[in-house]
Structure 1
Amino acid sequence: MPLAGHLRELRSRLVKAIGAVMVTTVVAGLSYKQLIDFVIAPLPGCDTLEGSPATTDGRCGVIATNGLLSPVTLALKVSLTAGLIGASPVWLYQLWRFLAPGLHRGEKRYTLAFLATGIPLFLAGAAFAYAVLPTTARVLISFTPEQATNILPVDDFLDLATRMVLVFGLSFELPLLLVMLNLAGILSSARMAGWWRHMVLGITAFAAIATPSSDPLSMLALAGPITALYLVACAVSWLNDRRRARKGTADLSPDEPSSLPALHDSYHGR
């Protein structure tokens, strides 16, 4: 295909992907209030009607928005985020369709397996991040002085929740990347298993840096599942190496001559 054809194909894929994002964003915008309530549900807000804390430990914060345009900006952020997530199958498929003509049959199979496994892993990481958000919020609010009231801007919490969802979701893709390297023959299971001390240390350091909050609970909540998935990736790679070794042994014939040159041939060749 000439360059102009590639550009037309890219334009077509981009139009379809952006159109899907716009449609899902508009649909999400119709119920943005319910989405915002879902996002800020982990926040331990105070009961403004009765003046009593909404949590059993007595620590809470006043959930608020800052400024006249803040609710509009918040609605746009929530709707666009929901639109990107909701349209992810469409724009990922369009990306694959743009790259597929340049791939071999085996590479197409690997990319389809990558998408079929990567999307559930990302969603699992995002769901896990949302599950630990209430505990993270309570731990952070517990540092508030006794005589002070914590004002919780919804915009700040939305940014924190978005970063945690992205960090957790992308971190859950690490085992899939290791398995793909093993399937490509670049990384063996023995080497992966030999790196376990360095990998655990690196995962812990990454979790300490990548988590938006500074509490150790969020760090452990991210490092624990990634370490478990790393061990699963080692086990899958070990099974694949055993299958590859059996297949290679089965393909060898005892009557097949060696590919190495004979000693006397090399001697006479001198």
Structure 2
Amino acid sequence: MTLVEHIKELRRRLIISLIALAVGTVLGVIWFEHSVFGLPTLGYLLREPYCRLPDEVRADFSADGSCRLLATGPFEMFGLRFKVGGLAGLVFASPVWLSQLWLFITPGLHKNERRSTAIFVTVAVVLFVLGALLAYWVISFGLEFLLTFASESSTTALNGKLYFSFLIGLLLIFGVSFEVPLIIGMLNIIGVVTYEQLKDKRRIIIFFIFCFAAPITPGQEPMSMVSLAIALTLLVEMSIQFCRFNDRRRDRQRPEWADLDDDEASPLYSPGADPQSSGPVRGSGPVASSGPLNTPPERPAPRQRFDSHDSSGFDDVL
């Protein structure tokens, strides 16, 4: 394909991805306030960590006593609904735009590169989802710690903008942080880092993980920081063990002469054999000659009878 054809293909796949994103955003906006297929609304799922808090630490502004967030601006909830719906639409449309990205990259890859890329994308999506689920579970403990810290002297009234910003930020931070072990594994596959390098620096890596989790979590409350640090430590340890397995497999498949210098000769015997352990070489003996194989014996030429009265026979004998 020419450069112009590549650009046209890229434009076509971007248009398909944007259409899928727009459709997913509309579905997310509808799901924010309306139940779909019997599922709870998206707004209820996002409010659930806040609504599980004790009633005495939440301000109640509704007439029926239901759990609601506070809106302080005329367009706050309108913009918030489209913001949350857009993020939900990005998740809904992910199969489409990921497939379009895959179809655009695949023609330029070899067979083994396609397989590696497919595994990489699948593991990345799974790790991001696991990180987001862990963040959703941690939010309840984090809010309870933050909002009950001074519950005797104050009552918390969270507005929708601050609460959803805190929630979405925590989901994204946990999801992206869970990609760190995958990056370590990919660096080991391409040969940038080895197991020996990571093994000697394991304590330093764990220390930096806790230092990273302290400022990156919104609110900086201990439950979120400790949960993120412990989860990352376990995942990084799994990636280190993967590096150990991959290095051993690579060493088994790598020949001994590949580690020699350019001006160094490789040994003439196998690595597991000892050239001094073998006995003396026996002398060579004569080789018996063999006749031709599958060749019929030659028949003797027929004798000619000599006649004294026949001069032609005498001439033949002469």
Could you state the TM-score of these two structures normalised by the residue count of structure 2? 0.73
Which SS does the other structure have where 2:158 is aligned? strand
Alignment partners' CA distance in 1, 2:195 and 2:96: 34
2:263 aligned partner: 260
Residue 42 of structure 1 corresponds to 49
| Residue 226 (1) aligns with residue 229 (2) | no
Deviation (angstroms), 1:88: 1.7
Deviations 1:68-106 (A, max 9, x none): 222211211121111011212221222222222333333
Alignment of 1:151-190 (within 5 A): 151-190=157-196
CA distance in 2, matches of 1:101, 1:214: 45
Is 2:192 the counterpart of 1:194?
Answer: no
How far, CA to CA, are the matches of 1:207 and 1:164 in structure 2? 11
AA of the residue aligned to 2:263: L
Query: 1:241 corresponds to which letter in structure 2?
Result: D
Question: For the Cα contact (< 8 Å) 1:144–1:150, is it kept in 2?
Answer: no
Correspondence for 2:127 among 121, 129, 144: 121
Q: Which residue of 2 aligns with 1:211?
A: 217
* In 2: Cα distance, 1:90 partner to 1:207 partner: 33
Aligned to 2:17: 17
Judge conservation of contact 2:169–2:218 (CA < 8 Å) in 1: yes
State the distance in 1 between where 2:165 and 2:158 align.
12
* Corresponding position of 1:55: 54
Amino acid at match of 1:178: I
C-alpha displacement of 1:163: 0.6
Unaligned stretches of 5+ in structure 1? 46-53, 263-270
Normalized per residue, the structure richer in helix is 1
Q: Which residue of 2 aligns with 1:149?
A: 155
The DSSP-based 3-state class of the residue aligned with 2:57 is: coil
CA shift in 2, pair 1:258/1:200, >3 Å: closer
SS of match in other structure, 1:143? coil
Matches of 1:233 and 1:120, distance apart in 2: 15
In the other structure, the counterpart of 2:113 is 107
Aligned partners of 1:44 and 1:138 also within 8 Å: no
Gapped runs of 5+ residues in structure 2? 34-40, 61-68, 266-318
* Residues in 2 aligned to 1:109 and 1:184: alpha-carbon distance in whole angstroms: 15
Alignment partner, residue 241 of structure 1: 247
User: 1:258: how far off?
Assistant: 8.9
Which residue in the other structure is 1:49 paired with? Answer: none
Q: Between the two structures, name the one with larger relative contact order (CA 8 Å, sep ≥ 6).
A: 1
The aligned amino acid for 1:116 is: T
What is the CA distance between 1:2 and its match in structure 2?
A: 2.5
Q: Determine the C-alpha separation between the residues in 2 that align with 1:121 and 1:9.
A: 30
RMSD of aligned alpha carbons: 2.1
Counting aligned pairs with the same residue, the percent is 34
| AA partner of residue 2 (structure 1) | T
TM-score, normalised with respect to structure 1? 0.85
Is this contact kept in 2: 1:61–1:149, CA < 8 A? yes
d(CA) in 1 for partners of 2:215, 2:155? 28
Match of 2:94 among 59, 72, 88: 88
Q: Distance in 2 between matches of 1:92 and 1:208?
A: 32
